[in-house]
Structure 1
Amino acid sequence: MTGKVMKVGIMSRDEYRERTLAIARGEYKPKRGEPKIWFESIQSMAQVLSSENQELLRIIVEQKPKSIKELEAATGRKSSNLSRTLKLMARFGIVDLVRENKTVCPIVKATDFQVEFGLHKHFAKKAA
């Protein structure tokens, strides 16, 4: 199963805020291929992309459930748990939750992940 690769980065909240403000001021332009999704820590990334959640993504890709109820039947997970997990993944752009009539259909946007992090600054402002 090969699909869309999503680049994710890990950056502290303070560094992310500094980066966002530098972009807004025009002092920094994100480079091509830079992650679009940032986690605050390896732990926060691990919560969202846990083995259990990776399996959930795999089931969605393979079985293409048309609703949370269908996904509940396929996974054995309660719909309240699935909704919470899917909303979190949607916030990070990993899934889309498409509303059709009164049902929500989960669609996986990324099946493979590249993680970028290090001890250095993730961006540098242009010299004044």
Structure 2
Amino acid sequence: MTQTLNVTIGSPDRSGLEDRLKAVGAGEDVAPHNPTLAIEDLETFGRVFRSTNLELLEAIVEHNPSSIRELARLVDQNPPEVLENVHELADYGLLELEEDGQAKRPVVWYDEIDVNLPLTSTGAQRDAANA
């Protein structure tokens, strides 16, 4: 079964979040929510999803490396550079680092990214851009 991470440009959509949190707090069974990552702007999106980072994510999904050093070997890059990129991806929630002895194992829970890239601005975004 394909697990998809939804990515949008702009502020996170928190509609319904309060109701979902109340339901969880009351012990109700809440249906899974499609996880969505909101990237603040196109410049950040371009940096986070540059080809080097996408190559790392693909290698993690395909090979399930046991460490960052193994990941660096898989993509034929220097471990310090891979470490820096992996930390950036972890900061944005695109992967997790699991402690495995002295090594940190990069883990990606999804195998597909769905990007919602609007080509028009909403009124508030348009007004801010023109200010």
Q: Could you say whether these structures have the same fold, taking a TM-score greater than 0.5 normalized by the shorter chain as the test? A: yes
Q: How many residues align?
A: 109
The whole-number CA distance in structure 1 between the counterparts of 2:35 and 2:42 is 15
In the alignment, structure 2 segments of 5+ residues that lack a partner are 21-32, 125-131
In the alignment, structure 1 segments of 5+ residues that lack a partner are 123-128
1:66-89 per-position Cα deviation (integer Å, ceiling 9, x unaligned): 011111111111111111111111
TM-score for the superposition, normalised by structure 1: 0.69
Counterparts of 1:32-71 in structure 2, within 5 Å, are: 36-71=36-71
How far apart are 1:116 and its partner, in Å? 4.3
Q: Which residue matches 1:82?
A: 82
In 2 relative to 1, CA 116–63 (structure 1 residues): closer, same or farther, beyond 3 Å? same
Q: Which residue matches 1:102?
A: 102
The whole-number CA distance in structure 1 between the counterparts of 2:107 and 2:55 is 14
Q: Is residue 97–residue 106 contact of structure 1 (8 Å, CA) maintained in 2?
A: yes
Counterparts of 1:22-37 in structure 2, within 5 Å, are: 29-30=16-17, 36-37=36-37
Does the residue aligned with 1:38 lie in a helix, a strand or coil?
strand
**Comparing both chains, which one has the higher relative contact order based on Cα–Cα distances under 8 Å and sequence gaps of 6 or more?**
1
In 2 relative to 1, CA 3–43 (structure 1 residues): closer, same or farther, beyond 3 Å? farther
1:18-39 per-position Cα deviation (integer Å, ceiling 9, x unaligned): x79xx6xxxx645997873221
